[in-house]
Chain A
Amino acid sequence: MKYKSQKVAYWFFALSMLLLVLQITYGFVMGFARIGFDNLHEFIPFNTARAVHTNLLVVWLLSGFMGAAYYIIPEEAQRELVSVKLAYVQLISLALVGVTAIVGFHFNIWEGRKFLEIPRPLDYLVVVNVLLFLGLILTTLFKGKRQTTTALVLSMGLLFAALLYLPGMLPFDSQVTDSFFRWWVVHLWVEGVWELIMGGILSFLLIKLTGVDREVIEKWLYVIVGLTFLSGVLGTGHHYYYIGVNKIWLIVGGIFSALEPLAFLAMALFAVNMYRKGEKKHPNKLALYWTLGAAIVSFVGAGLLGFAHTLPQTNIYTHGTLVTAMHGHLAFWGAYGMIVLAIISYSLPNMTGRKLYDSSRGRMAFWLANIGMVGMTVAFGVAGVAQVYLERKFKMDFMLVQKEIAIHFVVLVLCASIFATGIILYIIDFYKHGKPSDEALEINE
C-alpha cells in the first residue's frame, strides 16, 4: 500500500463479504423451495428471496468495485484520496440504502422489475450515493500526478454505470417499453460498462502481478474493451427477440451476440499470455489464481454459455427457462464475483501488512468455490434443458415439469454447499488478515 487513504477499500470489501454471505443464504432458501421445502413461505416467499438474492448480488459487486476503485485510483493517480471522511460517509450510506431496500422486500415494498426491484425513493438515494463516490474518485484522478489508461477505463466504467442507471428510472405505461429500457440498464451494465470495470481491475492486477510493461497491457485493454462495446451494445438485441418489438432485433441481436464471446476470449488469452510473458513472479499466488480464474471462467460462463442460448432459433425455446439461470450463475461468478475476490486477495496483504500470500485454506477456497459453482451451473443446465423439452416441446404442464426436474435442485443444493464452503474459507482468510494498518505502508515496495 502506498497511500494511507487506500485503507478505506478494506471496509468496502468487508461489506461486500457480508452481503455475499447473505446472498448465498437467500439462494439456499430458493433452492430448498424448489425441492419442496418452502417452510419459510410466510416470511420469505420465493419472490422476496429472489429479489434479495439478485439485488444483494448487485450491491456486493458494486461495493467490491467501489473498494477496488478506492484502492486502485490513489495508486494510479499517485496521490491520497481527496477525502477519506466522505468515502466513509459514502460507505455507510450505501450499506444503509442496501439494507433498507432488502428489509422492504420482506414487506412487499418494491418495484417488481427484474433486477431493479429497489423502490423509487431509494433509487434517488442510490443516485446521490453514486454521485458522491464518482466525485471522490474522479477528483482524485484528475488532481493526481498521472492519469493512466487503467485508471481512466476503470473510472469510465464506473461513470457510465451510474449514467446507465437512469433509463431504468423512466416511467412507462407499456410493459414492452418498460422492459426494453430496463435492459438498457441491466444488459448495458453487465455486458457493457461493467466489463470496463472488470477490464480496469484486471489490467491493474496484471501489471502488479506479472510485471509486464504497462504500455503493452494497456494497449490490449483498449482492444478488449473495444471488442466488448462493439459486440455488447448491439448484442442488447438478444433481450428483444420475443418481448414484443420489431423483428430487426432478431438479426441484429443474433449477429452481435454471436460476437460477444470474442471479448471474453480476448480477455482470457490476454490474461494467460501476460502471465506467461511476465518475468516478475509476484509471491501473492492466491491473487494470481483468482485473476487468471476470473478471465478464464468469465469466458466459459459469460462467453460460451451466453452464446449457447442467444441464437434466436435456440432462444425461442430457452427464453424464460432455467437455461438463463445456468448462464447467469457462471457468468456473474466468473466475470464479476471472481474479479472482486481477486482484487481483495491482492490488496488485503498490502493493506494489513500480513502477507498470507499462499495457504492451503486459500487454495481450497478457490477450488471449492469454483467446483461448486460449476456443479451448480451443470445442475441448472440439465434442469433447464429438461424443462425446455418437456414443457415447450412435449407441451407438459409447467408444474408437472417442475416436479420432474426437482431432483436437479437436490444436486444444485449439494453443489451450492460446496460453493458456500469455499466462500466461508475465503472469508476466514479475509478475517485472518486482520485490520488495515498504517504500518503496512510501502511494505511491499
Chain B
Amino acid sequence: MLSKKQARAFFLGGTLVTFLIFIGLTIFSFSKENDQTNRENLTAEVVRGKEIWESNNCMGCHTLLGEGAYYAPELTKVIDRLNIRYDGNGEEVIKSILMSPSPWQLNGRKMVAYGMTEQEASDVVAFFNWIGKIDLNGFDRVISPLAKEKINK
C-alpha cells in the first residue's frame, strides 16, 4: 500500500516534471519557426488598437479569438463578415459604430456609445485586421461561416 512519503514524492515529482514540460512547450510554441501569432505584422496602430480594446473592456460583451462574454458578436473575422454584408464597406461600418455618439443597437441589444475619434476608430480597425490574419488552427472557419463561403468560392 502506498505510504505517505511515496504519496508526497508523487505530488512533488509529478508537479515538477509537468511544470518543466509546460515551460518547454511554451518556449517551443513562441520560437521563431513555430510562431503563428502574426507577430511580424504588429504595428504601432495595432498596438494602440489593442490598448483601446482593453481600456474599454470590449471583451466584457464581445468575444475575440473565442474569448470574452458571449453577449455580443465574435469579432475575430468581423471585417470579412461585414464586408460581405455591406458590399466591401466593413471597415467603414465598424468605424461609424465606434465613432457614433449614440448607442448602436442592431437587433435590440445596446452597445455603449464610445464616440471615438477617427484615429482611435482606425486603430481598432487595424487591430481587427491584424487579429483576422492569425492562424487559429481552423477555428477561424467555424466562427466566420460567411468568410468560409468566400474562401470556398
Contact = CB atoms under 8 A, between A and B. Distances in A.
Interface of A: 30, 33-34, 36, 38, 41, 45-48, 50-51, 105, 108, 110-114, 117, 149, 173-180, 215, 218-220, 222-223, 225-227, 229-230, 233-234, 236-237, 240-250, 252, 256, 316-317, 319-322, 324-325, 387, 392, 395, 398-400, 402-403
8 contacts: A41-B112, A47-B61, A149-B8, A177-B30, A242-B136, A242-B137, A248-B25, A400-B107
Contacts of B69: 46-47, 50, 114
Nearest to A227: B14
Interface stretch (B46-54, B86-94, B115-123): B46-54
A177 B65 CA distance: 12
B25 A41 contact: no
A112 B70 contact: no
Contacts of B109: 38, 399, 402
Nearest to B127: A175
B18 interface: yes
Which 6 residue pairs across A and B have the least CB separation, nearest first?
A47-B60, A320-B66, A242-B139, A226-B11, A222-B7, A399-B107
B25 A249 contact: yes
A225 B4 CA distance: 13
Chain B's interface size range is 35 or more
Given A112-B58, A234-B18, A246-B28, A175 B110 contact: no
A176 B37 contact: yes
Contacts of A33: 71
B49 to A, nearest CB: 9
B99 interface: no
B11 A222 contact: yes
Contact of A319 (B39, B53, B66): B66
A112 B50 CA distance: 10
A269 B50 CA distance: 46
A176 B19 CA distance: 21
A247 B137 contact: yes
Nearest to A183: B67
Contacts of A324: 70
Contact of B50 (A173, A320, A322): A173
B60 A392 contact: no
Given A47-B69, A243-B65, A243-B66, A226 B7 contact: yes
B101 interface: no
Contacts of B152: none
A241 B137 contact: yes
Given A225-B11, A316-B139, A112 B54 contact: yes
Given A41-B110, A219-B4, A226-B11, A46 B56 contact: no
A319 B67 CA distance: 8
A392 B61 contact: no
Contact of B36 (A233, A244, A387): A244
Contacts of B34: 246, 248
B70 A252 contact: no
A395 B139 contact: no
Q: Most chain-B CB neighbours within 10 Å: which of A234, A319, A322?
A: A319
A50 B71 contact: yes
Contacts of B70: 320-322, 324-325, 387
Contacts of A41: 103, 110, 112
B8 A222 contact: yes
Nearest to A173: B47
Contacts of B36: 244-246
A4 B129 CA distance: 61
Contacts of A319: 66, 139
